[in-house]
C-alpha cells in the first residue's frame, strides 16, 4: 500500500478574524496601494478602533498574510443627518462616537490588496460584517459607498443618472456594483462625503442592508427621553470607634439611606476604613496600616453583603490592601448589586502616602460595566491627572467616581476643581466623596476637610454651574442627585461645544501604554 499523501502541505486557508495590533503596518500598506492619492489611516486611528470597538474591525488573512480588512462603528443612525459626511459619522476616523447600544452598524472602510482581488475577499469580509450585525441584533448595516468610476462619465451624466445606470448593469462601478451584488440598496446620494475622493468627485451613495433577523426591543420605541442614574454620595464622619462591628453599622446606615431613596449607586470616601485604626492602639503609621490590611476580608464581605441585600451598586471608598508581593496598595472596590466585585488601584501616590504608609502604585485604568452603563473610579490624586480621565472616557465611561481624603481646604479644592474640569473636558459626570471629622489619636489621620458633590458638564441641559448637588462643608451627611445619560449622549453630539468631537487628533493624542 502506497504511503498516504499529506494534503495539509497544500492547504492555504483564508482566515477571517478580528484585527490585532500586529496587523497595523499591513493594513496601512494595503490602504496605500488600494487607494492611491487618498490619505491612509494613521496608527492612532487603528489604535482607537481596536480600543473602542474591537469586534467591529475584521481582517482577511491568507497563508499568514493580511490581504484585506473592513472597519465598522455602531451608532444610532437617527442621530445623524442623512447628508452626513464620512468625517461626521466616524469622528474623523477615530470612532469615539461609537455607541455600544446603537441600533445600526455603519461600515467605514473595506479594502482588499490588489494582488488578491479576484478571490472573493471583499465578499467574505461583507459576510463577516453581516454576521456581526446579526450577533449584535442591529437593524441594518449602513455605509457611504464611493463611486470611483463616476469621473469617467461626469461630462455626460449626473450622479443620479450614473447610479441608475450602474443599478441596471449598463455601467460597471467597482464599488457600487459590488455592494448591489451583496444585497445593499441605495437610499440617497450624498455630496462632499469624502474630502479626498477625487475619483468619485466627492459623491457617495448611502447604502443599506437590512438585518431580517433583527428583534426590536420590547418597548414602543427605541428612542429614550431620559436615562437617569441616581447617585447617593456619603460625606463620612471620621470618629473614634471600638470595633469593626461599629464601623459596619455606620456603613449599613448610609447604604440603607441610599437604598430608601432608590439610588443606583452609593459612594463612600477614600481610605475611610482608616477609622478602624482608632481602636488598633498602634502609634506607628507604618505598622498601623499593616494591621489595617488584616481587615480586608471582613471589609469585602461586608460590602458584598450590603450590595446584594440592599440591591444597590456600592463604590466602597478605598482601602489599604496588602497583596502577595508584600506591597500595600490603595484600592477602590466596586461592589455590584449582583454580588460581583471589581477593583481599581490608585495610580498616583501622594508624597504623604509614601512617607507615612509606604503605599505602592497601580498601573491600570479600568472601566467597569454596570447596569447603569460604564463607569470608572479614580482615587483622589488620580483625578488631578487629566490623561486618566481621557483614557477612561475613550474606554466608554460616562461617570467617574472619585473617593477622596484631604486634610485641608487647599487639598480639597485641588480635587474639586479637577473633578469639575474633567467633567467639562470629557463631557462626563464626575462624583467626589470625602471624609470629615477627626481621629485625634490616629497618626496622619487627625483632621479632615471635605465638601462632596456631583458634577456635570457645563451646558444648557445640565445643572446650573455644572453642580448636580453638593453637601455642606465638614458635616456628616449625604447628597442625592440624578444624572441623565441620555442628555449626556445628546450633548456629545449636539452641544454648544463638543469637546470629544473637536479634539485635534492631528496635533496631539494620549497613548495608554498599558495596552501596548
Q: pLDDT of 162-189, one tens digit each?
A: 999 999 999 999 999 999 999 999 999 9
**Where does 17-151 have alpha helices with state H?**
24-34, 43-52, 86-90, 121-136
Cell numbers that stand for 182 in this block: 451583496
On the 0-12 / 13-18 / 19+ scale of CB atoms within 10 A, 115 is exposed
Location of C-alpha cell 467639562 = 424
Q: Is the pLDDT of residue 441 over 90?
A: no
What pTM did the predictor assign?
Answer: 0.73
> Which residues are known to be catalytic?
270, 346, 380
Band (83; pLDDT cuts 50, 70, 90)? confident
Rounded average pLDDT over 37-59: 91
Indicate the burial class of 508 (C-beta count within 10 angstroms; 0-12, 13-18, 19 or more).
Answer: exposed
What local confidence, expressed as pLDDT, does residue 5 receive?
54
Among 127-141, 255-269, 463-477, 490-504, the range scoring the smallest mean pLDDT is 490-504
- 69: phi then psi, degrees, rounded to nearest 5: -160, 160
Mean pLDDT score, 305-333: 94
- Please report which confidence band the pLDDT of residue 221 belongs to, taking 50, 70 and 90 as the band edges: very low
CB atoms within 10 A of CB 417: 12
pLDDT of amino acid 440? 84
User: What is residue 441's DSSP assignment?
Assistant: T
**Residues forming a β-bridge with 122:** none
Q: Strand locations in 35-75, DSSP E?
A: 57-62, 65-75
For residues 111, 115, 116, 118, the Cα torsion angle rounded to the nearest 10 degrees is 100
- For the record, the C-alpha cell of 194 comes out as 469624502
pLDDT at 482 over 90: yes
**CB within 8 Å of 169: residues ≥ 6 apart:** 177
Higher pLDDT, 510 or 454: 454
Reported as a pLDDT band with limits 50, 70 and 90, residue 442 is confident
Question: pLDDT (tens digit, 9 = 90+) per residue, 352-395?
Answer: 999 989 999 999 999 999 999 899 999 999 999 999 999 999 88
CATH class for the region spanning 229-494: alpha beta
Measured distance CA(374)–CA(307) in Å, rounded: 18
Q: What pLDDT is recorded for position 516?
A: 46
Compute the distance between CA of residue 38 and CA of residue 207 in angstroms, rounded to an integer.
22
Q: What is the pLDDT of residue 515?
A: 55
pLDDT tops 90 at residue 101 = no
Rounded CA separation 150/171 (Å): 10
pLDDT value, residue 231:
98
Radius of gyration of the chain (CA): 28
Q: Using alpha carbons only, give the angle 267, 268, 273 rounded to the nearest 5 degrees.
A: 155
The pLDDT of residue 4 is: 64
Question: What pLDDT does 225 receive?
Answer: 66
Residue (of 477, 489, 484, 443) closest to 462 by Cα position = 484
Residue 303's CB is within 10 A of a number of other CB atoms, namely 25
Residues 436/237, Cβ–Cβ less than 8 Å: yes
Instruction: Encode pLDDT of 356-368 as tens digits.
Output: 899 999 999 999 9
Listed by start position, the domains of the chain span: 12-210, 229-494
Mean pLDDT of 15-43: 91
Model confidence band, residue 6 (pLDDT cutoffs 50, 70, 90): low
Separation CA 160–CA 189 (nearest Å): 7
**Taking Cα atoms as reference points, which of 261, 285, 179, 207 lies closest to residue 469?**
261
Query: What gap in Å lies between CA 337 and CA 222, rounded to an integer?
Result: 26
**How confident is the model over 198-222, as a mean pLDDT?**
84
Q: Could you tell me the CATH superfamily of domain 12-210?
A: Gcn5-related N-acetyltransferase (GNAT) (3.40.630.30)
The pLDDT assigned to 513 comes to: 80
pLDDT, residue 220, reads 47
Query: Can you say how many angstroms the Cα of residue 468 is from the centroid of all Cα atoms in its chain?
Result: 22
Q: What is the DSSP letter of 513?
A: G
Alpha-carbon distance 116 to 120, whole Å? 8
Share of the chain above pLDDT 70, in %: 96
Task: Kindly indicate the confidence band of residue 494, based on its pLDDT and cuts at 50, 70 and 90.
Answer: confident
- The answer to whether 467 and 435 have CB atoms below 8 angstroms apart is no
pLDDT at residue 308 in the model: 92
Name which of 468, 478, 450 is nearest 266 in CA terms: 478
149 vs 442 pLDDT, higher one:
149
Q: How far apart are the first and last CA of the chain?
A: 54
| pLDDT greater than 90 at residue 275 | yes
Amino acid at each position: 500500500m502506497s504511503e498516504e499523501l499529506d494534503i495539509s502541505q497544500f492547504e492555504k486557508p483564508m482566515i477571517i478574524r478580528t484585527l490585532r495590533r500586529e496587523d497595523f503596518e499591513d493594513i496601512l500598506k494595503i490602504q496605500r496601494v488600494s487607494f492611491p492619492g487618498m490619505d491612509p489611516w494613521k496608527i492612532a486611528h487603528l489604535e482607537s478602533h481596536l480600543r473602542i470597538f474591537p469586534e467591529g474591525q475584521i481582517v482577511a488573512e491568507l497563508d499568514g498574510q493580511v490581504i484585506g480588512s473592513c472597519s465598522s462603528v455602531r451608532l444610532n443612525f437617527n442621530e445623524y443627518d442623512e447628508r452626513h459626511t464620512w468625517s461626521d459619522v466616524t469622528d474623523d476616523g477615530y470612532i469615539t462616537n461609537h455607541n455600544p447600544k446603537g441600533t445600526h452598524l455603519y461600515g467605514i472602510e473595506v479594502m482588499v490588496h490588489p494582488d488578491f482581488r479576484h478571490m472573493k475577499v471583499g465578499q467574505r469580509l461583507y459576510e463577516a460584517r453581516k454576521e456581526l450585525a446579526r450577533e449584535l441584533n442591529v437593524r441594518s448595516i449602513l455605509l457611504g459607498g464611493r463611486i470611483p468610476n463616476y469621473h469617467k462619465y461626469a461630462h455626460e451624466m449626473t450622479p443620479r443618472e450614473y447610479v441608475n445606470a450602474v443599478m441596471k448593469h449598463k455601467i460597471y462601478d467597482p464599488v457600487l456594483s459590488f455592494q448591489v451584488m451583496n444585497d445593499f440598496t441605495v437610499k440617497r446620494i450624498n455630496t462632499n462625503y469624502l474630502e479626498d475622493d477625487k475619483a468619485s468627485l466627492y459623491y457617495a451613495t448611502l447604502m443599506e442592508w437590512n438585518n431580517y433577523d433583527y428583534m426590536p426591543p420590547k418597548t414602543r420605541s427605541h428612542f429614550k427621553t431620559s436615562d437617569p442614574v441616581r447617585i447617593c454620595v456619603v460625606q463620612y464622619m471620621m470618629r473614634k470607634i471600638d470595633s469593626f462591628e461599629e464601623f459596619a453599622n455606620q456603613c449599613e446606615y448610609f447604604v440603607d439611606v441610599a437604598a430608601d431613596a432608590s439610588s443606583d449607586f452609593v459612594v463612600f470616601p477614600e481610605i475611610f476604613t482608616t477609622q478602624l485604626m482608632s481602636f488598633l492602639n498602634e502609634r506607628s503609621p507604618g505598622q498601623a496600616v499593616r494591621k489595617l490590611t488584616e481587615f480586608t476580608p471582613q471589609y469585602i464581605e461586608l460590602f458584598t453583603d450590603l450590595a446584594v441585600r440592599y440591591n444597590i451598586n456600592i463604590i466602597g471608598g478605598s482601602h489599604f490592601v496588602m497583596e502577595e508581593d508584600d506591597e500595600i496598595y490603595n484600592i477602590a472596590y466596586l461592589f455590584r448589586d449582583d454580588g460581583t466585585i471589581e477593583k481599581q488601584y490608585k495610580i498616583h501616590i501622594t508624597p504623604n502616602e509614601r512617607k507615612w504608609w509606604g503605599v505602592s502604585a497601580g498601573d491600570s485604568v479600568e472601566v467597569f460595566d454596570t447596569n447603569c452603563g460604564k463607569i470608572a473610579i479614580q482615587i483622589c490624586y488620580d483625578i488631578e491627572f487629566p490623561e486618566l480621565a481621557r483614557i477612561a472616557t475613550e474606554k466608554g465611561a460616562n461617570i467617574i467616581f472619585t473617593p477622596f481624603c484631604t486634610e485641608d481646604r487647599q487639598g480639597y479644592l485641588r480635587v474639586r476643581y479637577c473633578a469639575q474640569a474633567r467633567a467639562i473636558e470629557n463631557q462626563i459626570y464626575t462624583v467626589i466623596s470625602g471624609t470629615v471629622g477627626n481621629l485625634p489619636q490616629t497618626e496622619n489621620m487627625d483632621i479632615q476637610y471635605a465638601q462632596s458633590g456631583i458634577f456635570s458638564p457645563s451646558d444648557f441641559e445640565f445643572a446650573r454651574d455644572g453642580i448636580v448637588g453638593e453637601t455642606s462643608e465638614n458635616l456628616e451627611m449625604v447628597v442625592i442627585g440624578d444624572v441623565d445619560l441620555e442628555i449626556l449622549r445628546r450633548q456629545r453630539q449636539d452641544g454648544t461645544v463638543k469637546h470629544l468631537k473637536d479634539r485635534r487628533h492631528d496635533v496631539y493624542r494620549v497613548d495608554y501604554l498599558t495596552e501596548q
